[in-house]
Chain A
Amino acid sequence: MDAWVVATGLIFAYLLVTIVLGVVANRRMTVDLEDFLLYGRKAGFVVLYLTVVATYHSAFAFLGSGGFFYTHGIGFWDAGSWTVLVGAITYVLGSRIWALGKRFRYVTPADMLADFYESEGVRVVVAVVSVVFTILYIQVQAQGLGYILSVASGGRISLELGTFILLVVAAAYLMAGGLRAVYWTDVVQGVWMYVAVWVGALVLAYKLFGGPLQLWRRVAEERPDLLTVPGPQGFFTPGMWFGLMVVLSFGIIFQPHIMIRYYTAASAKTIKWLGATTPLFLMTLYIPAALVGLGGALAMPDLEVADRIFPEMLFTYAPAWLTGIILAGATAAAMSTLDSILHSNMTVLTRDVYQRYISPKASQAHYILVGRAIVLALLIIGYLLSVNTFQFLVVLVALSGAGALQLMPAILGVCFPTRRLLTRAGVLAGIGAGLATLYVTLDLPGVSALSGGLLSAHPRGLHAGVWSVMVNFVVTYAVSRFTAPPSAQTVRRIHGEIERFVYGDVGGEAPS
């Protein structure tokens, strides 16, 4: 049987599994908005663990990480530092977000921030930042999916058709079963992607080099420039190493599709164990990625698009059945992120916009129906973004990684009581200043011309995300010194809950 038939057939078999899970999830669902949006706040450790890791790792981790090792060498092992930090942030901050969500019935990140800062302006700004900076990931993931299906079929399924098929499947099981369907499919996707990367990398390492350790020796002999930093192209400078660690830990955590997951944990113990152990999955996924990228640099040194190294090596050196299983794993990595972003955007738009400003007193069934309609609209937008190339989108995608990072001072102000309170004016000014700094320090269109060439991307070698969040902190604290804080009652209610949760009843449950 031809390799493309096996590869494409296995991907479609995988899609069938996700649809069946969506249908089963639909039968378990009740007509309850919290059940549809937040899994009824009952996610246990195994389900939450696999959905968080599958959501965090997207098509980029599966395809792009191999490409990074291929081009820039061992410097991408920086990924271990940001994935370990994700665990620590989840442990310390995620558990506090969970406690406040359970106590005050928050559904979105904007719920929490608007409640503490007593501001609808904060709600709107946070909702807009949440949606704008993640909706672009729909485009990135959808294009990745179309590419995978196109490669697997040997070009017989076009990029556009592949994108359409996979978007429809993801939207269908999300509309059918809500977050329960997303979580159940993420369990399958998380396991599949992890096994696929490890098996694929080990098979290639043994077949081409005699094993992983022999692969490392060959790299040292033939391409030693790949085994130190900043790498062959000088990419991983100290500033870039530090900046990527900040942006890809805090910046991802503060995106709504991750923050909403904190609200869904069944208990504080669940989320603390989640934080302590997620780095085991997240970090070790990059071990086989290094084997793929560095091995690929020796086996296929002249590849035009580095991100294609994994599928290209599979099609050249691996059996068809294995290629199919692994490309289905790549599909899983992209779909698990895509469905989560579709869900989080649906949640934000349903809760923070429709329920808040358009129809505040409708029935639960009505909101679920609206949520499904929003998914449909996002599906259409995602497809249009995926099959067209707009210059402004390229600009916005460059902004998106560091966009959610701008919520950092505001979130810390809620979750970490201190004597010096942040204010609504402070956090709004900080977010504005941070986004403006991000635009300038990424050297986006118009900046060079306006500055007469004085400004360049990532000034002084420090990542633009770090510049922007530093300015954000300074402005937030400066403006907060001279503006009115939230009321004493609100501070006592919310910071008091944090104080009680962390120190008053350690490890216990928040009262419901």
Chain B
Amino acid sequence: MPDASEQEYPKYPSHFRPRTRQGWIAVVLFLALFALTQPPFVHGFANRIAPWLLGVPFLYAYLLVIYFALIAVLIWAQRRGI
């Protein structure tokens, strides 16, 4: 029969909140950049053809740049051991 301490529920801090400064930076940066790929930004100010960037329409280039920035955040997080 398990002793009393084993029958108590452990109280782990929530895993939805980062516990380190670098963890916070990675999460906030990723979420902020990701929000820019979603409405209302995409259907608002980014929803235009001009100005052309990198030789392609604005909306396409805008999203392409943010997608690569998001990947860069993931790679940075991995290199930092987050």
Contact = CB atoms under 8 A, between A and B. Distances in A.
Contact of A88 (B6, B12, B30, B64): B30
B40 to A, nearest CB: 7
A275 B77 CA distance: 11
A416 B15 contact: yes
A84 B75 CA distance: 12
Contacts of B34: 81, 84-85
Contacts of A498: 15
Interface residues of B, number: 38
A230 B43 contact: yes
A80 interface: yes
A84 B71 contact: yes
A288 to B, nearest CB: 13
B23 to A, nearest CB: 10
B54 to A, nearest CB: 9
B33 to A, nearest CB: 9
B60 A242 contact: no
A227 B11 contact: no
Contact of B14 (A77, A213, A415, A417): A417
Contacts of A213: 55-56
B74 A238 contact: no
A276 B6 contact: no
Nearest to B31: A88
A277 B37 contact: no
A225 to B, nearest CB: 10
B32 interface: no
A507 B70 CA distance: 21
A496 interface: yes
Nearest to A82: B37
The binding surface of chain A is classed by DSSP as helix
Contacts of A502: 15
A229 B6 contact: no
Interface string B37-62: 11110110001110000011101100
Contact of B9 (A229, A242, A283, A488): A488
B16 to A, nearest CB: 6
A499 B16 CA distance: 12
A509 to B, nearest CB: 14
Contact of B47 (A229, A245, A283, A506): A229
A485 B9 CA distance: 10
A279 B16 CA distance: 23
Nearest to A220: B49
Contacts of A458: none
A87 B42 contact: no
Nearest to A498: B15
B10 to A, nearest CB: 5
A418 interface: yes
A361 interface: no
A412 to B, nearest CB: 9
B74 A279 contact: yes
B49 A227 contact: yes
Contacts of B59: 74, 77, 227-229
A179 B67 CA distance: 32
A419 interface: yes
Given A227-B59, A279-B74, A242 B39 contact: yes
Contact of B57 (A87, A220, A287, A488): A220
Given A74-B59, A503-B19, A80 B64 contact: yes
Contacts of B9: 421, 485, 488, 491-492
A228 B49 contact: yes
A85 B64 CA distance: 14
A104 B8 CA distance: 22
B81 A80 contact: no
A198 interface: no
A418 B14 contact: yes
A91 B74 CA distance: 8
A415 B16 CA distance: 10
A242 B35 CA distance: 10
A272 interface: yes
A150 to B, nearest CB: 34
A316 interface: no
Nearest to B38: A242
A224 interface: yes
A218 to B, nearest CB: 12
B12 A489 contact: no
A507 B81 contact: yes
B58 to A, nearest CB: 9
A72 interface: no
28 contacts: A74-B59, A85-B34, A216-B57, A220-B57, A224-B49, A227-B59, A228-B49, A228-B59, A241-B38, A241-B39, A241-B43, A273-B78, A276-B78, A277-B74, A279-B74, A283-B71, A287-B64, A416-B16, A417-B12, A418-B12, A418-B14, A418-B16, A488-B7, A488-B8, A489-B6, A492-B6, A492-B9, A502-B15
What 5 pairs across the A-B complex have the smallest Cβ distances? A238-B39, A276-B74, A213-B55, A417-B12, A416-B15
Given A283-B71, A488-B6, 20 more contacts: A74-B59, A80-B64, A80-B67, A88-B30, A91-B74, A227-B57, A227-B59, A228-B47, A228-B48, A228-B59, A237-B43, A276-B71, A276-B77, A280-B71, A416-B15, A419-B14, A488-B7, A488-B10, A489-B7, A502-B15
